[in-house]
């Protein structure tokens, strides 16, 4: 089904794919493969294309960066595994999927972790917050090199408008495959249905799901707004997407190359984040006017109250996260929402 399965597992294990040296080719540049789940118009893809241009321009004699969108290389979980083994070099992964590779990522999946967009951005740009998480998964073969904006996640449903937590009772809501997200739904009284992003559209269409939760781009880019007509701004999560690298690949770069890759990581971030706000505005406009999605603005306080116990349980299970959590609270205090 996927590009990789079409290429055949044999090619992968034989190393032909790893080095990028096609039979009979005298091109010994290493092909750097980056996989992600989004469309080619999504800010993630635009950022990665700019990254590819930068590396291909500066280090084109040794590397050729190729960006594979739309789950071409597999689901997000599969692509993280491929990155872990070095079959591909980078993946854009959500903090939810990363949670299964390192429990530390749970912190970012806590609902209402950040008090405002400003606090969220400032905290994510603070290496004291991110380094202890991003740079300590080398044993798992992975290192996060940049965070990308993925907006705010909200509930959306086919038939039932969500105005308060009790409206979720008995509804089957798709969540990402992460224990924190499953627990979040349990606290709200809904039925969590974890599945990969690429399967959500069909599951909504088949009526296996009553709804899902995501940022606005899922309505348009992924067509969920064709089926779900109620989008409720309960604002439960501001979660970044992460550019995650194969650790051995990073370690194998010379100092000069690493400096150029580091510039590239800054470029992905800037281009992606720079494109985010407009992409959301455009998605919202299209959802409202073409897909006829109703946007609902419920009181967020009851949602926040219902999900609050998750902060305590995650911190109790992972005491090493407490200092990072406290630092985030400082960013919150310095950037309170109006």
Binding positions for ligand GCU, rule: CB under 6 A: 37, 76, 94, 150, 176, 197, 214, 218, 241
| DSSP track, 221-284 | TT-GGGT--EEEEEEEEE--EEEEEEHHHHHTS-HHHHHHHHHHHHHHHHHHHHHHHHHHHHHH
In the complex, least distance from residue 150 CB atom to ligand GCU, rounded to whole angstroms: 4
Nearer to ligand GCU, 106 or 214 (CB): 214
Decide: residue 191, CB within 10 A, 0-12 exposed, 13-18 middle, 19+ buried: middle
> Which residues are CB-neighbours of 207 under 8 A, at least 6 positions away?
158
Q: Using the minimum distance from each CB to ligand GCU, give the nearer residue, 150 or 227.
A: 150
**Residue 94 vs 332, nearer CB to ligand GCU:** 94
Residue closer to ligand GCU, measured from CB, 89 or 241? 241
Nearest CB to ligand GCU, comparing residues 20 and 47: 47
CA separation (Å) from 68 to 90, 91, 95, 148, 185?
10, 9, 20, 17, 32
Q: Minimum CB separation from ligand GCU for residue 322, in Å? A: 27
Listing DSSP states for 51-102 in one string gives HHHHHHHHSTTTEEEEEE-TTTT--HHHHHHHHHHTSSSEEEEEHHHHTTT-
Smallest separation (angstroms) from ligand GCU to the CB of 76: 5
Under DSSP, is residue 41 helix (H, G, I), strand (E, B) or coil? coil
CB nearer to ligand GCU: pick between 230 and 276: 276
* Cα–Cα–Cα angle for 58, 63, 68, rounded to 5 degrees: 110
Q: How far is the CB of 336 from ligand GCU (least distance, A)?
A: 26
Q: Minimum Å distance from CB 329 to ligand GCU?
A: 25
- Cβ of residue 37: shortest distance to ligand GCU, in angstroms? 5
> Which residue of the chain is nearest ligand GCU when measured via CB?
197
Query: Where do we find the tokens 């309170």?
Result: 336
């Amino acid at each position: 089904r996927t590009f990789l399965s079409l290429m055949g597992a044999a090619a992968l294990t034989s190393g032909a794919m790893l080095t990028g040296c096609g039979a009979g080719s005298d091109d010994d540049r290493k092909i750097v493969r980056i996989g992600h789940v989004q469309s080619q118009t999504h800010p993630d893809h635009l950022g990665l294309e700019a990254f590819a241009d930068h590396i291909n321009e500066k280090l084109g004699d040794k590397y050729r960066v190729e960006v594979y969108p739309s789950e071409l290389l597999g689901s997000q979980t599969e692509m993280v595994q491929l990155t872990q083994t070095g079959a591909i070099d980078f993946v854009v992964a959500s903090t939810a999927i990363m949670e299964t590779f390192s429990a530390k990522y749970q912190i970012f999946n806590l609902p209402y972790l950040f008090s405002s967009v400003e606090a969220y951005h400032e905290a994510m740009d603070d290496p004291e917050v991110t380094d202890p998480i991003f740079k300590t998964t080398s044993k798992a073969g992975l290192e996060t090199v940049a965070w990308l904006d993925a907006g705010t996640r909200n509930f959306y449903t086919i038939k039932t408008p969500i105005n308060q937590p009790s409206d979720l009772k008995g509804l089957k809501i798709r969540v990402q495959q992460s224990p924190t997200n499953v627990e979040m739904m349990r606290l709200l009284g809904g039925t969590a249905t974890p599945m990969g992003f690429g399967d959500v559209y069909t599951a909504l269409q088949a009526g296996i799901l009553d709804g899902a939760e995501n940022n606005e781009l899922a309505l348009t880019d992924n067509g969920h707004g064709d089926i779900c007509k109620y989008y409720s701004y309960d604002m439960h999560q501001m979660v970044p997407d992460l550019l995650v690298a194969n650790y051995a690949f990073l370690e194998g770069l010379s100092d000069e190359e690493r400096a150029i890759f580091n510039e590239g990581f800054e470029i992905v971030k800037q281009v992606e984040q720079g494109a985010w706000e407009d992409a959301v505005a455009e998605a919202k406009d299209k959802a409202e006017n073409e897909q006829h999605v109703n946007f609902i603005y419920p009181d967020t306080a009851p949602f926040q109250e219902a999900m609050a116990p998750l902060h305590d349980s995650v911190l109790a299970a992972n005491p090493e996260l407490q200092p990072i959590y406290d630092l985030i609270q400082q960013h919150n205090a310095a950037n309170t929402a109006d």
